[in-house]
Structure formats: C-alpha cells, structure tokens
Amino acid sequence: MKLLFVIDNLGSGGAQRQMINLARELKTRGHHVEFFVYYPHDHYLPLLDEVGIPVHFHLKTFRYSIAPLFALRCLIKQHNFDLILSFLDTPNFYAEIARIGLGRTKLVVSERFMYQPGPLPIQLRLLQECHRLADAITVNSHHQRQRMVHEFPWMSGKVQTIYNGVDLERFAPNKTWKVRFNEPLALIAIGTIVAKKNMLNLGKALTICRDRFDIKPLVRWVGKQESTESGRRAFAEIFEFLQKNDLINQWEWLGECSDIPDLLRTHDALIHPSFFEGLPNVVCEAQACGLPVLASNVCDHPWLVEDGLRGFLFDPHSPKNIATAINNFYLTSHEKIREMSEASRAFAVNNLSAALFTDNYEKLFLSLVVKA
C-alpha cells in the first residue's frame, strides 16, 4: 500500500510518537509511507530519516490558515496514495476537506483525545460532523468510542478502538525482580501539570495517609508545567498546599525526563489520579514494566487495571478514597504484589504491544483498500 500520514508536526507528543512508530513498522512490512506536516517541530524527524520515510512540509504561517489544506490536496492528487491516515483535530479536518472528490484514496481519521464531561462545544460538534467524509474513524479508548456513538449515532459503523502500542523491549521489568524497592513507599506520577491531573486531591490524600494510616509515601511527579494561566494556577495551588501541610519532603518535582523506563522500574507503583483520560500511555508503559497501577476509576482505567488484579482503583474526587487505595497497596503482601506485577506485564504483552497496534491498523487499511 502507498500511505500518506498527516499530522501537525513531528514534535515530542504522544500522538506523534504513536504515528511515527506505526509508520516505521509498516515500512518494515513492505508498505510505502510518506508524511505531511505543517509546523516545524522535528523531534522525531531522525526516526523517519533513519528508515527512509519522506516528509512533505508546508509551513502554516498563522493559526487559521488553510494554505496547508490546498498543499495537501495537491500532494494527494499528484502521488495517487491508496490511503491517508490523519491524527488530531486540525489534521483530520484538513485531510477530510482535501480528499473531497478524490474518493479512490481512502481516508482514516483518528481521535487522540476524549470528550470532556458535559455538552460538547459547538465547534467540536462541527468538527466531528466532518468525519462523515472519512471512510473510518479510530480512537484509542473504548470509553471514547462509546461516547462518540452516543453523541453521533451515525458513527457506529465507522468507529473502532485501536489501543496504543508499547515498545515491550524498552518498557520491560527489571531482570532481577524485587518485591519492594523503597521504604517509604515510592509512587511515581507522570503527566503535564494541569488541573485535570488532579494533583490537589492526591496531595490531600497524602495528609490522610500520614494522619490516619501512619504512612508517609513519597510522590515523584514527572512532567512539564503547562504555560497557560490555568496550568500555572494548578501548579501554584498544589505547591501552596504542600507547603501549608508540611508535605514538601513527600513530593518531588522531576520535570520532563527522557529516562521513563528506568524511573518506572525504580518505583513501587504508578499513581494516576486524573479526573478523565483517553488512553494514558503512561499506564500502559507502567504495566509493560511490571508495575502495579493505582488509578482513578474513570474511562478505560477499570479495563486496564482491573481493581485488585493489576493494581487498585479509586474515586478521583475523594482524597479519602485515594488514600485508602494507597494504604491498601502498602499493606498488600509481597506475594500478592509479585502477582500484580506479573499480571501487569502479561496484560501489556497480550493487549498493548506495538506489533498488535500495527496489526490492527494494517488490517483496517487493507480492508478499505481491497474493498475499493
């Protein structure tokens, strides 16, 4: 197949990482892959150059420019691609409009986010209606697929869930497995510092752990601070809370880190208290490393974690419930923790591998191209 992948840039984001990995694997399977991007972030460009995947770049000079749309349409007409795959809202819109009248080339659009609770904004509803122009829609969580079909019943025959893929060699358990690395309990949290990540309730849970359960777990938070006003406010709020409640020694800010597999392997569990999520890469990567996961009982977390089997779930709105989950994990026997670790790794191998991710996309692409 001759494939064109469309995304805004080749920066360090999770959507970019998944698309790059998919392109490289499809290239090794004998398919021809090219990229179209319109912003000059090139973090992942060397990975494409390494395997000889061409990149077509058309600079977007201002936010509402439609020039990339016309450049994309010209590219599609000139190169006669079998199929286009686009990730993210604006690239999806560009691909859908650019492909009008070029029906021989099939189009798969992928949503890499989830709807927030409540009514959908009108702008989002209009963008979703444009998916009528696509041949198929993919999402990376069952919860998002169900929500999309509820909001847009006409999508039911078009949308399917394809979970993200994890590099199971890079994200793998320690060769010599240990029951517990740290005393006190060491929890790692990974995510951009924004309000939806629920840092404040996690901080409140630490006070309950200390005052009610007599344990002082250490939280290390990996991730950048969002530069928006809401991001700065979220950081200031949790920082002030930690200071006022004498928790500074129980919380470390690690910033952005590139050694995520090593960090995961040197902690006792991942804690992921978000109010809502799509498919969090970090939960999948932690499981691949054999970590139990303490996660909010939202979206696809119950399927990923399965309370008591690969970790513990909690109500993200209840600091007491979060604290109880942490304490339950702390009191879990060494043998049970070993079982959780092995179950996490097995789940990742069976459900979250990069090979399975590629298989699912390749199967979808072939079904559309052959049908044509």
Q: Between these two residues, 102 and 34, which has the higher pLDDT value?
A: 34
For 60-82, write each residue's pLDDT tens digit.
988 888 899 999 999 999 999 99
In CATH terms, are 2-165+353-371 and 186-351 the same topology?
A: yes
For 252-271, write each residue's pLDDT tens digit.
999 888 789 999 999 999 99
pTM of the predicted model as reported, rounded to 2 decimal places: 0.85
Question: What is the C-alpha to C-alpha distance for residues 131 and 96, in angstroms, rounded to an integer?
Answer: 7
Question: What is the C-alpha to C-alpha distance for residues 12 and 96, in angstroms, rounded to an integer?
Answer: 25
DSSP assignment string, 207-256: HHHHHTS----EEEEESPBP-SHHHHHHHHHHHHHHHHTT-GGGEEEEES
For residue 350, the Cα-to-chain-centroid distance in whole angstroms is 18
In this predicted structure, what is the pLDDT of residue 43?
Answer: 84
In this predicted structure, what is the pLDDT of residue 355?
Answer: 95
For 156-207, write each residue's pLDDT tens digit.
999 999 999 999 999 999 876 555 656 789 999 998 888 889 999 999 999 9
CATH topology of domain 2-165+353-371: Rossmann fold (3.40.50)
In this predicted structure, what is the pLDDT of residue 182?
Answer: 66
166: number of CA atoms within 13 Å, CB side?
27
| Sequence spans of domains, the chain | 2-165+353-371, 186-351
Structure tokens at 4: 């064109």
Question: What is the C-alpha to C-alpha distance for residues 105 and 116, in angstroms, rounded to an integer?
Answer: 32
Domain 186-351 coded CATH 3.40.1160.10? no
Residue 180: φ, ψ to 5°: -145, 130
In this predicted structure, what is the pLDDT of residue 123?
Answer: 92
For 82-123, write each residue's pLDDT tens digit.
999 999 999 999 999 999 998 899 999 999 888 888 899 999
